[in-house]
Amino acid sequence: MDLTDYIPSVADFPIPGVSFKDITPLLASPEAFRESVDRLIEGTAGLGFDKIAAFDARGFLWAAPMAYQLALPIIPIRKAGKLPREAVSDTYRGEYDDVVVEMHADAVGPGDRVLLVDDVIATGESMRSGCRLVERLGGTVAGCAAVIELTFLGAAEKLTAYPVVSLVRF
């Protein structure tokens, strides 16, 4: 199955110049969605992680079934102001907006090996931000995994310190 068939590009969304990768047809196909989850699990199998950190909001869609299948904890990395307890925060400039993300301060600690999961790696700034949060709390980033990677935005060069797993590259 070619997952690319389920990810159309929408020109100039949400701002002019951005080619937006639309995951909703993939989500609408139970077979394609299952395939994408299974392939992320297979692709990350050798990374040795014991927690999965998931990016608000689309990252949750893949992190949750991965964590369910692997029986691992999920750590939400949320947009600012959504977490109820003490949190660490980080800011980055993405492809079309400025983002502040937060993680609960007790979500990660020394000795934890964390896999970061998202739907799309575009500029790679959200993954880098997630790595900073994990490392600030003393954890180790076991890898970065996403369904889609936009190779033309150069994320791979920013994430050379970490294993990166992606299923569909544009």
Binding site for ligand PRP (CB under 6 A): 55-59, 94-95, 99, 118-126, 155
Distance CA 125, CA 48 (A): 23
Instruction: For residue 52, report the phi and psi dihedrals to the nearest 5 degrees.
Output: -120, 120
CB closer to ligand PRP out of 1 and 57: 57
CB closer to ligand PRP out of 93 and 138: 93
Indicate which single residue of 5, 11, 17, 20 sits in contact with ligand ADE (rule: CB under 6 A). Answer: 20
Decide if residue 21 touches ligand ADE (CB under 6 A).
Answer: yes
Largest CA distance in the chain: 43
Alpha-helical segments (H) within the chain: 24-28, 30-43, 58-70, 125-136, 155-158
Asked if residues 101 and 116 have their Cβ atoms less than 8 Å apart, the reply is no
Decide if residue 19 touches ligand ADE (CB under 6 A).
Answer: yes
The option from ligand ADE, ligand PRP, none interacting with 90 (CB < 5 to 8 A, set by class) reads none
CB closer to ligand PRP out of 126 and 166: 126
CB closer to ligand PRP out of 142 and 155: 155
Residue 7 beta carbon to ligand ADE: minimum distance, rounded to whole angstroms: 9
Give the range of 18-26, 33-41, 78-86, 158-166 binding ligand ADE by CB under 6 A.
18-26
Considering only residues 74 to 133 of the shown chain, the ones binding ligand ADE according to CB under 6 A are 94-95, 120, 122
Instruction: For residue 95, report the phi and psi dihedrals to the nearest 5 degrees.
Output: -70, -30
Tell me the C-alpha to C-alpha distance, in Å, between residue 94 and each of 3, 33, 91, 113, 151.
24, 25, 10, 25, 15
Distance CA 99, CA 78 (A): 10
- Tell me which residues touch ligand ADE (CB under 6 A): 18-21, 94-95, 120, 122, 150
